[in-house]
Amino acid sequence: TANENQTNASRSASIGIYLGNKRLSVVNITQKAAGVSLETTSLTFENTAGAYELKLVSEASWTANTSQSWLEVSPTSGSAGESTIRISAIDNTSISERNGYVYINIGGTKVVEIPVKQRGLYIEFEEHVLSFTSEEEEQVVKINSNTSWSISSCPEWMSIAPMLGNGSQDVTIKVTDNPNVSSRKATIT
């Protein structure tokens, strides 16, 4: 019988079989380092709080921890066999993406590292440059977002509807007839 190997390497031993003082045989035994497998190799969260439940299969007792305070793993330990772990993240109210890790350890040694990223707040226009003819015209543009937004400036010869929204939405941009012989430009904020 062998206890679970909680080191980061395989280990070996020999058993001698004796009759009196005479060794009749030697049995060499090697035990591999315990392994851990998970259903995924990385996780991605939107900016809102969320959680993933993953199946973990381990050949020995394990512990789990995270690299960042906005990440949580539960339970933080388990025994050999199949377990379910829950990895959760709190809201990211920043515009920056953030990164962290979940670590699975056996015998105090890190055996699995799961990269985790969480998206920040974002507002993205589907198109960055729009071209219109000199006549009255309208175009529909998609705003991709995970937060509320508002359009705060546009020239008087242009109308935009809607001017505010929440999340991803289509926006209609309409320009009036250009009575000038030169082109005109504007930036929408």
pLDDT at 178: 93
The DSSP symbol for 126 reads S
119-136 pLDDT per residue, tens = 999 888 877 888 999 999
For residue 28, pLDDT beyond 80:
yes
142-189 pLDDT per residue, tens = 999 988 999 988 899 999 999 999 999 999 999 999 998 999 999 888
pTM, to two decimals: 0.69
d(CA 53, CA 111): 19
42-98 pLDDT per residue, tens = 999 999 999 999 999 998 999 999 999 999 999 999 999 999 999 999 999 999 999
d(CA 32, CA 30): 7
d(CA 62, CA 36): 9
Q: In angstroms, how far is CA 65 from the centroid of its own chain?
A: 16
